[in-house]
Amino acid sequence: MRLLSEIKGFSPALCSQLAKLGIQSVQALLLHLPLRYLDETRITAIRDLRLGEQTQIEGVVVHNEVAYKPRKMLNVRLQDDTGLINLRFLHFYPSQVAAMQTGQRLRVFGEVRPGFFGYEMVHPTQRKVGEDTPVNSALTPVYPTTAGLGQSAIRKAMHQVLKAEYLDETLPDWVYQSMQLPSFASSLQLLHQPPPEVALASLEDRTHPAWQRLAYDELLAQQLSMRQHYARRKQSRAPAISASTTLVARLLANLPFTLTAAQQKVVAEIGHDLAQPHPMQRLLQGDVGSGKTIVACLAALQLIEAGWQVAMMAPTEILAEQHYKKLCDWLQPLGITVAWLTGSQHKKQREQSLTLIASGEAMLAVGTHALFQEDVQFKQLGLAIVDEQHRFGVGQRLALRKKGQHSQLEPHQLMMSATPIPRTLSMSYYADLDVSVIDALPPGRTPIITKLVADDRREEILQRVHDACAQGHQAYWVCPLIEESEVLQLQTANDTFAYMQQTFPQLKVGLVHGRMKPAEKQAVMQAFSANEIHLLVATTVIEVGVDVPNASLMVIEHAERMGLSQLHQLRGRVGRGAAKSTCILLYSKQQCSQIGRQRLKVIFESNDGFQIAQADLHIRGPGELLGTRQSGVPMLKIADLERDMALLDTAKTTADQLLQRDPAAVTAHLQRWLSQGEEWIKV
C-alpha cells in the first residue's frame, strides 16, 4: 500500500490535512470521490441567465464597493457584452476586494438569484482571467473537504495519483464479463475528470456505469470481508454443548403457555449451533412481543446444564430488570442462581453479585453494560446474550465475549433484536451472522389499532384516556423527544405529569424518565405493573422492556418527530394482553415535515415490523438501523443498498466463487478497499 508521504509533491502539511479526512494512502485518495460537479466548460452570456441555475459567466468589473448598511458587505458589478449582474459577498477579506478591482476581468461561477438591482450571485467562486483564457475541458469535481484544505489542493493532489501504476485491476476479467461495466482505471478517470458530454444527472445520482463499477467493487469487498470473518469464526473453538435432558423439560412443564411453532423452530436452530465446536454467532429477530426472552432462556439452560455460565446484557436498566425478573421467576424454582449487575447498584450489592459470578455460584448474570467492566470475572462463561444488539457498539459486544475466553475456548453469542433487519442489510452488514426469525406472535395477542390524530383534537384524546382508565385499563402518555435534548425532554415530561394530575384528580398518575434514580424508576414501574398507577407519563425510556398486559392505550405526543423503529417499539408496549389496544399518534399539522408525514403513513398502515424496517431503511438509510453511531462500523461510501440491490445480489454470488478460485485476487481487492484497516463485520 503506497503512502502519500512517499510521493513527491505531497508535503507534510498536505498529508496532515488529508489525514484529517482519513486519507493516508494513494488508494484512499483515489477513492475519495466527488460529492457533485460544476459545469465550468462553457460561459453563459449574462442576458441568457435563468433564475435558480448554477452557471459560469465572464466579464469586467465596473463597480466595487464595500457597503455598511444594512450590514457590511462587498458589492461588485460585473459586465459583459450583453448585460450586468451584481455579485454580493457577506464575508470577505481585503485580498478579495483587491482581486476584484474595477477593470479586472473575472470568470465567475454561482447560482443566479433575484436581487434588489436585478439578477445577482451571492458568494460565487471567482478567478482572474485574460481575454483568451481557455475554459475547462472537463466538469469540475467538488470533493468532501476539511478546514484549511481547499478544492484546488485536492484536485491537484488527485491529478498526481491518477496514473496507470495506481489504477490496476485487482480482479480477474471473468468477474466483469457478464456485467458490461467499465474498467477500474477508466471509471476513476471519468469520475475525477468527467468530459463535458457526460450527462451531469447520471453523475450526481450515481447511476453512471463508472459509479456502478465502483459500487460493485465496494459491495464485493464487503461480501469478501464478511465471508473471511465467517470462515475465521468457524475455525475458532467453543464449548460443544449437548442438548438439555432435564432443565429445559422442567421449565417447559412449569410455563403457563406453550411455545409457538416459530419459537420451537428457532430453539432447534440455536440448539444445533450450541452443539458445534465453534462459536455460535446468531442473530435472533422477532417483532415486539414475539417471545424472544423465553427462547434465550432455553438456550441459557442448555449451557447451564452443561456447567457453563451465561451472561445476558441489555441496553437500559428497565429492560435489563424486566429480563432479570422474568428469568428469576422461571429459573429460581429450578435451583438456578441469577445475579443482577448494573452501574447504579450500591457497592455492597455489586460486590455480592461480583462474588457470585466469579465463584460460578451464579450460573446466569443479567445486567447492562456493567457486565463487561474490568472487575467482572466469570468462572466459565459459555454464552453471551445481547438484547437490542444494535444499541451496543462493536467494542462493547466484543468486551463481553472476551470475558469467557477460557483455555482458548470462545463463548457462543446470541444477539437479539426487535428491530427487524431488512433483507438488504441482512445480506450486507449481517452477512457473517446466522439469522433466526420468530415470524409469528404468540396466540391471544390482539392486533393494535393505530390512529393518527392532529393535536388540535387533544381534548378528545384526554377523554379517551379517562374512559380507558375508568373501565379498569391503564394507559401510557409518551412525551416527545425535543431536539435530542434530555433536559428539554425532562421538562416536557414534568410539565405533562403536573398537567395530567390536575386534569385527572381521580386517577393515580405516575412519571418515569431517564434521569430518575433507578430505585425511583423501579418503584414507579412496579406500581404501574401492579395496577396501582392508572396513567403513566413517560419519556421514550419505556421504548423497550416494559410488559404490562393491562395497559391497552398509548398516546404518543409529537409522533412526527420520532423514527419509525422507535414508534413501532413504543406501540408494542400495548397489545400485550387480551384487551383491545389502541395507539394514538398525536402530531402537529404545522410542524410535520414531509419525512414526518412519510413515517406516520407507514406506521399507520402497517403493524409488520419487517415492512416498517424496510421503509425506515428507505427514508433514513442504514445508519440508524445498524447503530453505527455506537458501533464504529464503516458505512458503504459509494454503494446504496436500495439503489444497488441487483449489484449486491451479484456480489454475493461472486464472492463465494472468488474465494474458491482466486484467493490472491481476494487479498488484492481487500487491500484496495480496506486500506484504512476497516472491516465490515458485526461482532
The CATH number for 72's domain is 2.40.50.140
Spatial neighbors of 251 by CB under 8 A, at least 6 apart, are 297, 298, 301, 330, 331, 334
**Which of 58-67, 237-246, 420-429 has the weakest average pLDDT?**
420-429
Give the list of residues 6+ apart from residue 369 with CB closer than 8 angstroms, or none.
313, 315, 343, 392, 396
66 with 9, same domain: the answer is no
Q: What average pLDDT does the segment 150-162 reach?
A: 93
C-alpha cell at 51: 433564475
Tell me the backbone φ, ψ of residue 659, rounded to 5 degrees: -60, -35
In this prediction, residues 115-135 reach a mean pLDDT of 92
> Taking the mean position of all CA atoms in its chain, how far away is CA 269?
28
pLDDT at 241 (0 to 100): 95
Predicted confidence at residue 145, as pLDDT, reads 93
Between these two residues, 376 and 615, which has the higher pLDDT value?
376
pLDDT at 631: 42
Q: Flag whether 522 is in a domain.
A: yes
Higher pLDDT, 683 or 211: 211
pLDDT at 628: 42
How long, in residues, is the chain? 683
Q: Are both 190 and 52 inside the same structural domain?
A: no
Confidence at residue 368, expressed as pLDDT on a 0 to 100 scale: 86
Mark whether 497 and 574 lie in a shared domain.
Answer: yes
pLDDT value of residue 483: 41
Residue 134 has pLDDT above 60, yes or no: yes
What share of the chain in percent tops pLDDT 70? Answer: 90
Query: Is the pLDDT at 647 greater than 80, yes or no?
Result: yes
Residues 46, 188 within the same domain: no
Alpha-carbon gap, residue 500 to 502, rounded angstroms: 5
Is the per-residue pLDDT at 156 higher than 50? yes
Residue 502 lies in a domain: yes
Q: Is 594 exposed, middle or buried (0-12, 13-18, 19+ CB in 10 A)?
A: exposed
Least confident of 157-161, 435-439, 506-510, 650-654: 435-439
Low-confidence winner among 75-79, 552-556, 594-598 (lowest mean pLDDT): 594-598
Per-residue CA distances from 552 to 138, 508, 573 (Å): 63, 16, 9
192 pLDDT higher than 90? yes
How far apart (Å, rounded) are the C-alpha atoms in residues 493 and 486?
10
Q: Which of 113, 135, 157 is the last residue of a domain?
A: 135
**Range 513-536 average pLDDT:** 86
Mean pLDDT of 496-525: 88
Q: What is the reported pLDDT for 106? A: 96
Residue 189, pLDDT > 50, answer yes
pLDDT tier at 396, thresholds 50, 70, 90: low
Q: What are phi and psi of 84, to 5 degrees?
A: -125, 150
Other C-beta atoms closer than 10 Å to the C-beta of 29 total 22
Query: Cα–Cα distance between 602 and 584 in angstroms, integer?
Result: 14
CA distance 152 to 276: 57
pLDDT at 315: 82
**Spatial CA neighbour of 627 closest among 670, 673, 683:** 683
At 643 the pLDDT is 86
Q: Determine, yes or no, domain membership for 585.
A: yes
> Looking at the structure, do residues 112 and 167 belong to the same domain, yes or no?
no
**Domain assignment present for 129:** yes
Pairing of strands 73-80, 83-89: antiparallel
Determine the number of helices (DSSP H) and then strands (DSSP E) in the chain. Answer: 24, 22
Higher pLDDT, 421 or 171: 171
Structural domain contains residue 430: no
Supply φ then ψ for residue 197, to 5 degrees: -75, -10
Determine, yes or no, domain membership for 27. Answer: yes
Indicate the DSSP class of residue 25: B
* Domain contains 13: yes
Domain shared by 63 and 77, yes or no: yes
* Residue bearing cell 464449548: 239
Name every residue whose Cβ is closer than 8 Å to that of residue 188 and which is 6 or more positions away in sequence. 30, 162, 167, 210, 214
Mean pLDDT of the chain: 86
pLDDT at 481: 54
Q: Which of 98-107, 130-139, 416-425, 544-553 has the highest mean pLDDT?
A: 98-107
Residues 185, 62: one domain?
Answer: no
Q: Are residues 60 and 167 in the same domain?
A: no
How many distinct structural domains can be found in the chain? 3
| Same domain, yes or no: 62 and 131 | yes
Q: pLDDT tier at 370 (50, 70, 90 boundaries)?
A: confident
Q: Given a cut of 80, is residue 27 above it in pLDDT?
A: yes
For residue 452, list its beta bridge partners.
585
- How do 113-115 and 118-122 pair as beta strands? antiparallel
Task: Tally Cβ neighbours within 10 Å of residue 347.
Answer: 7
Spatial distance between the Cα atoms of 434 and 271, rounded to a whole number of angstroms: 13
Last residue of a domain, one of 119, 135, 151: 135
Residue 59 lies in a domain: yes
Decide which of 369 and 269 is more confident: 269
Minimum mean pLDDT among 51-65, 251-265, 510-524: which range? 510-524
- CA atoms of 548 and 554, how far apart (whole Å): 12
Tens of pLDDT, residue by residue over 659-681, are 999 999 999 999 999 865 455 55
pLDDT (mean) for 40-68:
94
Predicted pLDDT at 567 = 85
**The predicted structure's pLDDT at residue 629:** 40
Strand partners, 375: none
Residue with the three cell numbers 481487492 = 669
Q: For residue 462, give the CATH number of its domain.
A: 3.40.50.300
pLDDT of 439-484, one tens digit each?
777 776 677 899 999 988 999 999 999 999 999 999 999 987 544 4
Say what the pLDDT of residue 470 is.
92
Tell me how far apart the alpha carbons of residues 46 and 57 are, in angstroms, rounded to a whole number: 7
Average pLDDT of 393-413? Answer: 67
What is the domain extent for residue 151? 4-37+143-194
16 plus 149 within the same structural domain: yes
Q: Burial, 208: exposed, middle or buried (Cβ in 10 Å; 0-12, 13-18, 19+)?
A: buried
Instruction: Give the CA dihedral 274, 278, 279, 281, nearest 10 degrees.
Output: -80
Angstrom distances, CA of residue 121 to CA of 43, 100, 102, 272, 649? 15, 15, 18, 67, 46
- Is the confidence at residue 142, as pLDDT, over 70? yes
- 135, 155, 182 - which closes a domain: 135
pLDDT of residue 401: 63
Does the structure show a pLDDT above 80 at 435? yes
Same domain, 532 and 595: yes
Q: Which three cell numbers stand for residue 250?
A: 422442567
pLDDT attached to residue 105: 96
Shared domain for 21 and 50, answered yes or no, is: no
pLDDT in tens, 297-342: 999 999 999 999 999 998 878 778 888 988 999 999 999 999 999 8
| pLDDT for res 482 | 42
Q: How far apart are CA 474 and CA 492, in angstroms?
A: 21
Among 273, 234, 617, 641, CA closest to 436? 273
Higher-pLDDT residue of 288, 110:
110
Nearest to 421 by CA among 409, 408, 433, 410: 433
